[in-house]
Chains A and B, each alone.
Chain A
Amino acid sequence: MQTRQPGVAARLILGLAAAAGLALAANFGAAAQDKVVRVWHTETNPASVKAVAEIVARFEKAHPGIKIEAAALAWDDLEGKIQAALAAGAPPELSHGQPITCAALRQQGLLLPLDDVVQAIGENNLWDQIKQVCRADGHYYGLVHAAGTALLIHRSDLAKKLGLKAPRTWDDLVANAKALTMDTNGDGKPDIYGLTIPGDNLFINIIVGELIAANGGQLFDSSNRPQFTDKRMIELLQFWKRLTPYMPPGWEGHSYLDTFINMYGQKAAMMFQGYGRGASLIEQYAPKEMQNTDHFNVWTRPTGPSGSKPVVQVDEEPWMLFKGSKNPEAAKEFLKFFYKDENYIEYIKSVPIHFFPITKSLRQSDQYKQIPMVKRWSGWLEVQEHALANDLARPTLVVKYEDLHDKPYLMQVLGSGIIRDMVLEATAEGVSPEDAAAKAQKRAEALIKKAGYAKW
């Protein structure tokens, strides 16, 4: 028996090698037949996934020889996956990303322009704000899949009962939050809190970016030096601190979705960082008689004491086309197809109030206006359109559009949690706003220096 072992082993190894060879050959055979376009997006809700799948199916039918491999990924997974793909030299053709990520990748020469796609859509067909995102040297390196500005959602029934109006200043907002904090059962403890804010790193960064812009300040100056100890940032931290008595205890542990739960679960009367997605959640989870704008409506945002206009964040992840991907031309064809009104509306309809169309043609079409949710929540869309059309909307941490190109370290600042830590120290840990800001300033300076962008 022993004498036969080498033969068996050799045959086994040969067999395995042959099987692996066949599998590889089959794989290469398939690759030779189809141009595969890998598409990574962050809209993981089932309706959006289904809409993308249907658009992909139609595209593949109309474009034999191109295969779209679409994958819906959570934000945390996406960035890690992009990093791994770039490190391996095998990026996908298309992926969503934050505008600041897009700008940083563009600066590194890792992206290809999407000018063809923009031309196919029609440059004048895009909102001006959309054209600012990840555009450099006259080229579009990112094209937003849909826009959705932040909204100050409030319980309109309670506000009406108390005679409250849209807050114009930060003081007004504090006053509204105080008025809306209510003890409904008379036990001396609040049953409804005036305001809910998420404690997530991303959302705290978003809010600070908005508030500092609305207070006439900036996060970094032209030498890239952080401006966290500036008077306008201190005012921002003081404002946040003044709001905390009217927020649910332990708000710092609340996620973005928790704040929606607080809203439709009637534990909070205002949601500072609401989005159009809230309308879908209200229709899904709030009591039936409350699923309308008589109970949940939106206000425009207030302006800070040192600012001149309100600014809101716009949730707008651009599609990015990666240099070094295998089939960029096929990917462009897919995007052109995606943005055609008849296809794009399917995607927009999957979260109708949150996905504000980037094309004016779709926004103004009867087909869009007849979407039942669009009819029911039209006021929410008007507030978003007002922000987009009047230069009041900015991507995360962007105060001026030049920041996208001048400050490629913003993605690191966002990821570092420095801003979040500053806010939590000043509002939840009892540290004075000045001390929290000074600590954050020191950390941010170290980060910018380490990244090699310090020019002061």
Chain B
Amino acid sequence: MVELGRERAGTGGAGRRPSAARRTDRMSAQPKLRSLFRTQAKTMRLSQGAVGILLLLPALALLAGLTLYPMLYGIWLSLHHKHSFFPQQSWAGLENYWFLLDDAEFRESVWRGVVYSVSTIVLQIVLGVAAALALNQSFPGRSLVRGIVLFPYMIPTVVAVILWKWLLNNQFGLINYGLVALGLIDAPINWMGRAYIMASLILISVWQFFPFVLLAVLARLQTIPNELYEAARVDGAGAFSRFLHITLPQLASVLFIVLLLRTIWMFTKFDTVWLMTQGGGAEKYIRTLPVYAYLRTFHYYEAGTGAAASVVMFLLLVVFAAAYFAIFRREERL
């Protein structure tokens, strides 16, 4: 390869005036060079292919090790009776799945997961779109406000949940103090108790994750041509009409993706839900499917059943995604 480089350097010389002798040499060397180029080209193709494979290998190994293997292992585990502590395991076939179908706790956790996901997603989208519309307007300090509203999404979940737990504490929390001081309630509400814990969890989750919707929607809003609004104004369209007939259709493609991602993320959300109680008394009232799978694995010590619950969760999401794409295919092509 170095030799080839030299040949090239020798035959190049754009600024030089080659002598006749050199020209003769060059002409006689041409067939040799062509042959050399052909061989070299073959070598290069092979080398490039090998390099390509080499470069792909780490990524493929990572994918196989971190995604494919755990997924296959999870499926394999779900077909076994396996104690989480002990090394023994035995073939169970579909027993773990039949058990889940018969388990009221599992059904309740699926239902709670649906309630939690749907409530938080609807509220996140409403709040996120409203905030994005507001932050798309011009006003003094807009950049600062845009930065501040991202705060909930930027802080670690554990910090967010601890913060809210203190605010909501029924004995010493600021929220109860404020509500009592304003005369809105007579006595402190136990936000972390049975009656309100799901509402508290939804509130915290919406607060924490609506900035994601805001970011995506705001980015799209900034690309909508102003001419569309101006033309609509000329035609006499009001603000609501402009929103309904221009903004919303323009946002459809973004909302399509946002809705899909947020559904997957909220339905599989574990950290926020778990940190709310960490197995505390009111935990059973917010036990969603990921928490159920965790409890089955690490508290019931039934790794097989826990894995089966995780596989079911995966399948539910696959079904949802397939249905979602089938129903909203037209919007997806926007």
Seen from chain A, the residues whose Cβ lies within 8 Å of a Cβ on chain B are: 2-6, 9, 13, 76, 79-80, 82-83, 86-87, 101, 104-105, 108, 110, 189, 198-202, 204, 248-255, 258, 261-262, 265, 267, 411-412, 414-417, 420-421, 424, 428-429, 443, 447, 450
How far does the alpha carbon of A413 sit from the alpha carbon of B190 in the complex, in Å?
Answer: 28
Asked if B193 is at the interface (CB within 8 A of a chain A CB), the reply is yes
Interface stretch, picked from B64-72, B235-243, B272-280, is B272-280
Seen from chain B, the residues whose Cβ lies within 8 Å of a Cβ on chain A are: 1, 4-5, 40, 44, 47-48, 50-51, 54-55, 84-87, 99, 105, 170-172, 186-187, 190, 192-195, 197, 277-284, 295, 298-302
Report how many A-B pairs have Cβ atoms within 8 Å: 126
Whether B171 contacts A201 by the Cβ 8 Å rule is no
Whether A450 contacts B99 by the Cβ 8 Å rule is yes
Whether A252 contacts B279 by the Cβ 8 Å rule is no
Known: A76-B279, A253-B282. Is A428-B194 also a contact (CB below 8 A)? yes
Whether A424 contacts B298 by the Cβ 8 Å rule is no
List the B side residues contacting A198 at CB < 8 Å.
280-281
Whether A417 contacts B295 by the Cβ 8 Å rule is yes
Whether B281 contacts A201 by the Cβ 8 Å rule is yes
Whether B279 contacts A201 by the Cβ 8 Å rule is yes
Whether A252 contacts B281 by the Cβ 8 Å rule is yes
List the B side residues contacting A250 at CB < 8 Å.
170, 190, 192-195
Known: A199-B282, A249-B170. Is A2-B194 also a contact (CB below 8 A)? no
Whether A86 contacts B280 by the Cβ 8 Å rule is no
Q: Residue among A2, A199, A248, A250 with the most chain B CB within 10 A?
A: A250
Apart from A253-B190, A416-B295, 6 more pairs, CB < 8 Å? A9-B54, A199-B282, A200-B280, A248-B171, A250-B193, A424-B284
Whether A2 contacts B44 by the Cβ 8 Å rule is yes
- CB of A35 to closest CB in B, whole Å: 25
How far does the alpha carbon of A86 sit from the alpha carbon of B1 in the complex, in Å?
Answer: 54
Complex partner residue of A104 from B85, B172, B197, CB under 8 angstroms = B85
Whether A199 contacts B281 by the Cβ 8 Å rule is yes
Whether A416 contacts B299 by the Cβ 8 Å rule is yes
How far does the alpha carbon of A5 sit from the alpha carbon of B1 in the complex, in Å?
Answer: 11
List the A side residues contacting B187 at CB < 8 Å.
189, 249
Whether B280 contacts A201 by the Cβ 8 Å rule is yes
Whether B281 contacts A200 by the Cβ 8 Å rule is yes
Whether A6 contacts B50 by the Cβ 8 Å rule is yes
Complex partner residue of A429 from B51, B171, B194, B278, CB under 8 angstroms = B194
Complex partner residue of B280 from A82, A199, A249, CB under 8 angstroms = A199
